[in-house]
Structure 1
Amino acid sequence: MCEANVYLYRDDIGKEELFMEQVDKVVPQNGELYLENIFGQRKTIAARIRELSLVDHRVILEIVKESEAG
């Protein structure tokens, strides 16, 4: 199994929150990330990867602020 749970780092509270489970595809598209999981759910989010922990099957994202988005 190569899926990972994706968490969104919340700067305002300094914590991570579960965003999507069992993700098997992460594709950068036009400054956003397209995510798809093994259940066929799809999400797109204006974020960047903050951390990958492949052994722990975790991807941590952080929101891209409008001022940072090209």
Structure 2
Amino acid sequence: MCESNAYIEENGNETLFLETVDIIRPEGMNIYLRDFWGQEKVFKGRIKEISLLKHRIVLVRQECEDV
């Protein structure tokens, strides 16, 4: 299987967000993810890193920008 696990990085720590991610799609300021079994999650932030060899997706929360 070629699916990846998605993790949220905060304060130097990573927590599992979704396992066996099959689809990842940017949608504006959000990241849409769906796993192998059809579970869907939306993360408000950005992709920090994707490692295809390690099957890892690292997400970070979107920082507020001053306007």
Return the TM-score normalized by structure 1.
0.86
Unaligned runs of 5+ in 1: none
Instruction: Please say if 1:10 is aligned against 2:7.
Output: no
Identical-pair percentage: 42
Residue 36 of structure 1 is matched in structure 2 by: 34
CA distance in 2, matches of 1:30, 1:55: 27
Residue 57 of structure 1 is matched in structure 2 by: 55
Return the TM-score normalized by structure 2.
0.90
Residue 20 of structure 1 is matched in structure 2 by: 18
Unaligned runs of 5+ in 2: none
The Cα offsets for residues 28-60 of structure 1, whole Å up to 9 and x where unpaired, read as 112100000001100011111111111010000
CA distance in 2, matches of 1:38, 1:31: 24
CA distance in 2, matches of 1:50, 1:30: 16
Q: How many residues align?
A: 66
Going by fraction, where is strand more abundant, 1 or 2?
Answer: 2
CA distance in 2, matches of 1:49, 1:33: 8
